Amino acid sequence: MSGVIKSILTFIFIVEFIIGNLGNGFIALVNCINWVKRRKIALADQILTALAISRTGLVWLIFVSWYVSVLHPALFLTEKMLRMFINTWVVTNHFSVWFAASLSTFYFFKIANFSNSIFLYLKWKVKKAVLVLLLVTLVLLFLNIALINVHINARINEDSGNRTCSSGPNNFAQFSSPVLLTSTVFFLIPFTLSLANFLLLTFSLWKHVKKMHHTVKGSGDASTKAHRKVIQIVITSLLLYAIFSVSFFLPLWISELLEENLIFIFCQVLTMSYPSGQSCVLILGNKKLRQAFLSVPRWLTCRFKDGEPSGHREFRESS
């Protein structure tokens, strides 16, 4: 029975891996093509492209983690490999989370309506505000990496009698627990920022709907739809990231069940759902990306119809 469950989880993981690559690659490709055609790109599309690239890196990092941990656990737990993986994971996840938080911040200032003077100033200077926010996060990244390497060095010094750590995922989970706790503290900042954007957008929508009861019906439909669309994107991203975070701590809570790797693979499936699932959410929530995605089957059909007859004609002419 455990073998069947393991096979099912592995199949789901591979499907998520494929969706994550295709979805994030599609977002980056569409925005890059539009950038080349128009020779300019909006700030929201810049953030979306950077987010898609960082999520692609995260998808591959999770896949490599799963592949090496399952097939070559001893290699994964050498000091060099462990240090490289953890630092790469911190950098990739940092940009992935902060680009998502920056995107929600951009949408918040563009869509929300408040009369506060600070809000109106930031709304007017939203591009500079988002860029400054991203620059400030670099300081947090360097601090996070420094603290994590302190934890790694301390643990390696404790295990100096062995050149490698134990090869089981249980021991790796115990080894990485200080790293996870440190990273969680830093990643709570963008999560809190996105949560604040969600709550403020919800409040802005409530004010807008309340105001519409006293005005002409239908004049604010566009604003209401924009509010709801962004709120759906932000809340979905928050839920996926919450699942992503829990998946890292789950092995620590039930580490005694990791002997057959079922919990490990299950956690990898949960982890992969974050970068893969949100790519689908972003495509469906963005009008331009959604239209481009819906045009793909039509484009493939036209290419197939145009290509097939030409091949037959060439065959007939050659014969």
pLDDT tens-digit readout, 244-294: 888 877 766 665 555 556 777 888 888 899 999 988 988 888 888 888 888
Tell me the sheet residues that pair with 118. none
By C-alpha distance, which of 91, 83, 123, 99 is closest to 47? 99
Cα–Cα distance for residue pair 297/216, rounded to 1 Å:
41
| Residue 160 reports pLDDT greater than 80 | no
CATH classification of 1-159+174-216+223-292 is 1.20.1070.10, yes or no?
A: yes
Q: What share of the chain is helix, strand, coil (3-state, %, to 5)?
A: 90, 0, 10
Quick one: pLDDT at residue 314? 39
Tally of CB atoms within 10 A around 90: 20
Place of tokens 């950077």: 50
- 258 membership: H or E segment, kind and range: none
Of the two residues 97 and 212, the one the predictor is more confident about is 97
Of the two residues 276 and 224, the one the predictor is more confident about is 276
Average pLDDT over residues 45-74: 87
**Radius of gyration of the chain from its Cα atoms, rounded to whole angstroms:** 23
Mean pLDDT of the chain: 80
Q: Label residue 115 by pLDDT band (50, 70, 90).
A: confident
Q: Label residue 179 by pLDDT band (50, 70, 90).
A: confident
| SS3 state of residue 242 | helix
